């Protein structure tokens, strides 16, 4: 215990692990986790509806929506063909669960990458001092790989539903004097799903390199060979 406490108090920066797959892939995971939750969490877009009344000029009505995509909680004012009257209208659907789950996995993945990079670069001796560190790292990395699979799949389905609910062609079906306008830009959200599955590949692939750091991958005959080499001859 005293040795561990002394090691924890002595931070020693060593950039060597960044040249190895273990550290390099962890940096990539750190970067792509940021891209995943930032492209989703900060999104705001608008779908457009054209109101066409016989006695009025066409009016473009934007229906704004944003993360976490509780569309039914974001009203917009839709003019009617009666002078001075508007209807408070809502987009349909609540897709916050899949979006928030995806962002949550991204944020926690980012925090875990930050913590392990500090461990790799500053406390490498503590990480390798016992077999417990690499084993815990392996289990948590595998768990995050599974979470990226689930959250990316869920958010991919949620994004498909968001696109349908914000499609002007679908919105104007219930409005006889409306025509579809400009489609919302979804490139950023499409990128978020791609980043999610890229994170899945990175975290799952990194399990192999962390596994090589554990005692499960070491040659069981290696200690015996070292002892035989040090034993005196007959």
Cα separation values, 12 from 2, 124, 132, 213, Å: 18, 8, 21, 20
- Report pLDDT for 104: 96
Sheet of 178-180: strand order equals 59-66, 44-51, 178-180
Q: Where along the chain do its domains lie?
A: 10-213
Name the average pLDDT for the chain.
82
Return the beta strands (E) in the chain as ranges.
44-51, 59-66, 75-79, 86-90, 178-180
- Report pLDDT for 223: 47
- Report pLDDT for 80: 75
* pLDDT 10s digits, 26-84: 999 999 999 999 999 989 989 888 888 777 777 888 888 899 999 888 787 777 777 66
Q: How far apart are CA 169 and CA 49, in angstroms?
A: 9
Phi, psi of 169 (to 5 degrees): -60, -35
Q: How far apart are CA 211 and CA 84, in angstroms?
A: 69
What is the band of 10 on the pLDDT scale with cuts at 50, 70, 90?
low
- Report pLDDT for 218: 59
The answer to whether 67 and 41 have CB atoms below 8 angstroms apart is yes
Using the predicted structure, report yes or no on whether residue 133 has a pLDDT greater than 90: no
Q: Torsion-angle region of residue 221: left (phi > 0), alpha (psi -120 to 50) or beta?
A: alpha
- Report pLDDT for 4: 44
Q: How far apart are CA 180 and CA 50, in angstroms?
A: 6
- Report pLDDT for 120: 84
Q: For domain 10-213, which architecture applies?
A: Up-down Bundle (1.20)
Greater pLDDT, 116 or 230: 116
Q: How far apart are CA 119 and CA 25, in angstroms?
A: 15
* pLDDT 10s digits, 206-222: 998 888 877 765 554 55
The mean pLDDT of 104-108, rounded to a whole number, is 96
Using the predicted structure, report yes or no on whether residue 122 has a pLDDT greater than 90: no
Q: Kindly give the interhelix angle for 187-211 and 96-122, rounded to the nearest 10 degrees.
A: 40
Residue 11 is encoded by which pair of tokens? 């931070």
Instruction: Give the other-Cβ count within 10 Å of 18's Cβ.
Output: 14
- Report pLDDT for 84: 63
Using the predicted structure, report yes or no on whether residue 101 has a pLDDT greater than 90: yes
């Amino acid at each position: 215990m005293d040795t561990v406490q002394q090691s924890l108090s002595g931070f020693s920066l060593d950039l060597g692990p960044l040249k190895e797959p273990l550290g390099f892939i962890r940096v990539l995971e750190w970067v792509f986790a940021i891209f995943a939750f930032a492209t989703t969490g900060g999104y705001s877009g608008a779908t457009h509806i054209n109101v066409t009344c016989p006695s009025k000029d066409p009016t473009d009505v934007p229906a704004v929506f944003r993360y976490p995509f509780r569309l039914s909680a974001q009203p917009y004012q839709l003019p009617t063909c009666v002078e001075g009257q508007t209807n408070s209208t809502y987009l349909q659907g609540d897709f916050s669960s899949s979006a928030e789950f995806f962002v949550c996995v991204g944020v926690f993945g980012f925090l875990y990458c930050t913590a392990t990079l500090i461990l790799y670069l500053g406390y490498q001796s503590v990480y390798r001092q016992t077999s417990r560190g690499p084993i815990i790292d392996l289990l948590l990395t595998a768990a995050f790989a599974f979470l990226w699979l689930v959250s990316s799949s869920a958010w991919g389905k949620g994004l498909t539903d968001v696109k349908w609910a914000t499609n002007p062609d679908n919105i104007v079906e219930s409005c006889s004097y409306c025509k579809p306008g400009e489609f919302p830009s979804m490139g950023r959200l499409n990128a978020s799903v791609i980043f999610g599955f890229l994170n899945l590949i990175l975290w799952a692939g990194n399990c192999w390199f962390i596994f090589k750091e554990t005692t499960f991958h070491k040659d069981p005959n290696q200690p015996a060979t070292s002892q035989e080499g040090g034993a005196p001859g007959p």
